[in-house]
């Protein structure tokens, strides 16, 4: 069975695809708006502290368990002990549910790419966005289109699909991002945006913000739904993962920082609000694009950037469940992808419609879209990570000193796995429930 499993062609392929999974809407859409809501620089400081310390532990753990067992999620948990099999199954289920709401935003992005060259004809961007997402037809079609594109690359396989897409899309993403950062920094009063990002206001420090930063850090690193475990299982050589893990954390943080440097100077330059929430990218930015020279082209570049980021993450979201279906049921990738396409659509279409025709249909007082976001980001992702840390730390008794050369880091890993990360995750879930 093991010989039939695909492997990354090189360490570079593994790192770039894992960075591709990490860098997504979480960095370019979610990070700036959450940072805007929690007061800018102070949020950034806390975020960097958490992502470089606590997050190392579950990230390393998930990749390591994949590399160790060389199995998809259910098989990996089962290899540790058959009684954990069902906990493993929660991972691909989380993947399907995350895909359902993540791909809706992917569909919105496709619409904005198409609209880029005519966006200056729009008079009220807030109204345009609201009316668009309420439309019963186009958002559904574009969500399905985005899903199809992700599934297409996944179906082509680990080397020809996932690796190949990431090797093209990630450098393209970096080039566009740097270009847009330069444009933004050259706008009048750009320094006000930089000040907002880098000059901390300590009065805004509070526990809610710290937990929000932690939740954002976990989400952006793609921890907790088996995507990383699956990617880890495709590693062939038996080298330490520490350097790769830090490369992934560093790159992901640089992408998020650059996204902030691209967005905030522009927002301040046009005297807009940095805390406008999820609409920052779909309402505030298009408004700005309509007012800058070559705005159509810049808008196009920006939404292509967002598309590349969403696509490389989307591919990783699908890969976890796809590997589970192919390996557990011994079916081809194509068959697994067709099943996933249907399954994700079943959740994604009602969620897309929950902004319009299904807006009165509530689950626990939330629209279908908000419920899926809440269930996956606040409960399932932390829960999966909690289970895996507890299993590794307490059942498998994974010893940091066996996998990490640096003694201090190894000790931190051991304490983190058994105590710090589980406690942090429980706090995160409690906060999410309130
Ligand atoms: N890390 C992705 C982002 O920042 O957009 C989101 C994500 C991808 C979460 C894959 C979880 C996952 F397994």
430 CA from centroid of ligand 1 (Å): 21
225 CA from centroid of ligand 1 (Å): 9
Q: What is residue 339's three-state secondary structure?
A: helix
Q: Is the pLDDT of residue 336 over 60?
A: yes
Classify residue 292 as left (phi > 0), alpha (psi -120 to 50) or beta.
Answer: beta
Residue of 73, 93, 314, 316 to mutate, ligand 1, most atoms within 8 A of C-beta: 316
Closest atom of ligand 1 to CA, residue 381: 11
State how far the Cα of 164 lies from the Cα of 157, in Å rounded to an integer. Answer: 10
220 CA from centroid of ligand 1 (Å): 5
94 CA from centroid of ligand 1 (Å): 11
Closest atom of ligand 1 to CA, residue 309: 5
- Residue 292 pairs in a beta bridge with none
Q: Is the pLDDT of residue 371 over 70?
A: yes
Q: Would you state the pLDDT for residue 2?
A: 40
Q: Is the pLDDT of residue 57 over 80?
A: yes
Of 312, 314, 315, 333, which Cα lies nearest the Cα of 324?
Answer: 333
Helical axes 407-415 vs 56-69, angle rounded to 10°: 90
pLDDT digits (tens, 9 = 90+) for 126-167: 999 999 999 999 999 999 999 999 999 999 999 999 999 999
Residue of 29, 30, 102, 385 to mutate, ligand 1, most atoms within 8 A of C-beta: 102
Q: Would you state the pLDDT for residue 432?
A: 79
Q: Which helix (H) or strand (E) holds 15?
A: helix 11-22
Name, in order, each residue with C-beta under 8 angstroms of 249's C-beta and a sequence gap of 6 or more.
Answer: 51, 52, 55, 56, 59, 221
The residue whose CA is least distant from atom 12 of ligand 1 is: 222
Q: Would you state the pLDDT for residue 278?
A: 76
Q: Would you state the pLDDT for residue 3?
A: 47
Domain ranges of the chain: 11-432
Whether the CB-CB separation of 106 and 145 falls below 8 Å is answered with no
Angle at 255 between CA 253 and CA 258, to 5 degrees: 110
Q: Would you state the pLDDT for residue 98?
A: 96
CB atoms within 10 A of CB 249: 23
188 CA from centroid of ligand 1 (Å): 34
334 CA from centroid of ligand 1 (Å): 23
Closest atom of ligand 1 to CA, residue 313: 8
Determine which of 210-219, 229-238, 277-286 has the lowest per-residue pLDDT on average. 277-286
Residue of 25, 103, 222 to mutate, ligand 1, most atoms within 8 A of C-beta: 222
Residue of 18, 24, 98 to mutate, ligand 1, most atoms within 8 A of C-beta: 24
Closest atom of ligand 1 to CA, residue 94: 13
- Using 50, 70 and 90 to split pLDDT, how confident is the model at 239? confident
Helical axes 421-433 vs 381-390, angle rounded to 10°: 160
Of 142, 148, 140, which Cα lies nearest the Cα of 109?
Answer: 142
Pocket of ligand 1 (CB under 6 A): 21-22, 24-27, 98, 219-220, 222, 225, 227, 313, 316-317
Class in CATH terms, 11-432 = mainly alpha
Residue at token pair 């709401």: 101
pLDDT digits (tens, 9 = 90+) for 182-206: 999 999 999 999 999 999 999 999 9
pLDDT digits (tens, 9 = 90+) for 3-55: 478 999 999 999 999 999 999 999 999 999 899 889 899 999 999 999 999 99
Q: Would you state the pLDDT for residue 194?
A: 95
The residue whose CA is least distant from atom 7 of ligand 1 is: 222
Whether the CB-CB separation of 348 and 144 falls below 8 Å is answered with yes
Mean pLDDT of the chain: 94
Closest atom of ligand 1 to CA, residue 219: 9
Q: Would you state the pLDDT for residue 1?
A: 38
Q: What are phi and psi of 363, to 5 degrees?
A: -120, 120
Give the length of the chain.
434
């Amino acid at each position: 069975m093991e010989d039939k499993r695909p492997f990354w062609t090189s360490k570079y392929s593994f790192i770039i695809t894992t960075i591709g999974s990490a860098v997504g809407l979480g960095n370019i859409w979610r990070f700036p708006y959450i940072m805007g809501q929690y007061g800018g620089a102070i949020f950034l400081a806390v975020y960097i502290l958490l992502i470089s310390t606590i997050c190392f532990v579950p990230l390393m753990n998930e990749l390591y368990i994949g590399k160790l067992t060389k199995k998809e999620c259910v098989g990996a948990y089962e290899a540790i002990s058959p009684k954990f099999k069902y906990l493993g199954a929660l991972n691909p289920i989380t993947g399907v549910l995350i895909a359902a709401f993540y791909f809706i935003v992917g569909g919105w992005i496709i619409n904005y790419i198409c609209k880029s060259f005519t966006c200056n004809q729009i008079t009220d961007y807030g109204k345009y966005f609201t009316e668009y997402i309420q439309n019963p037809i186009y958002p559904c079609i574009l969500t399905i289109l985005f899903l199809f594109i992700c599934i297409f690359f996944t179906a082509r396989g680990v080397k020809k699909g996932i690796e190949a897409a990431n090797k093209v899309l990630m450098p393209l993403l970096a080039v566009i991002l740097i270009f847009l950062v330069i444009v933004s920094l050259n706008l009048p009063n750009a320094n006000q945006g930089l000040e907002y990002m880098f000059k901390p206001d300590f009065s805004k420090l509070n526990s809610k913000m710290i937990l929000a930063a932690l939740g954002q850090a976990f989400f952006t690193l793609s921890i907790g739904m088996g995507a990383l475990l699956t990617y880890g299982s495709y590693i062939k050589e038996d080298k330490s993962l520490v350097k790769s893990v830090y490369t992934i954390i560093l790159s992901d943080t640089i992408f998020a920082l650059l996204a902030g440097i691209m967005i905030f100077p522009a927002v301040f330059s046009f005297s807009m609000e940095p805390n406008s929430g999820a609409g920052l990218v779909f309402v505030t930015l298009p408004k700005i694009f309509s007012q800058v020279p070559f705005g159509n082209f810049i808008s196009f570049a920006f939404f292509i950037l967002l598309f590349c980021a969403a696509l490389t993450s989307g591919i990783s979201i699908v890969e976890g469940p796809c590997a589970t279906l192919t390996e557990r049921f011994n079916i081809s990738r194509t068959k697994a992808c067709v099943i996933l396409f249907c399954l994700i659509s079943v959740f994604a279409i009602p969620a897309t419609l929950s902004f319009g025709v299904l807006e009165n249909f509530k689950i626990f007082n939330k629209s279908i879209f908000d419920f899926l976001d809440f269930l996956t980001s606040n409960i399932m992702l932390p829960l999966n990570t909690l289970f895996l840390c507890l299993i590794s730390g307490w059942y498998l008794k994974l010893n940091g000193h066996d996998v990490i050369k640096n003694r201090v880091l190894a000790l931190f890993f051991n304490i983190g796995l058994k105590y710090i990360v589980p406690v942090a995750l429980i706090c995160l879930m409690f906060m999410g429930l309130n």
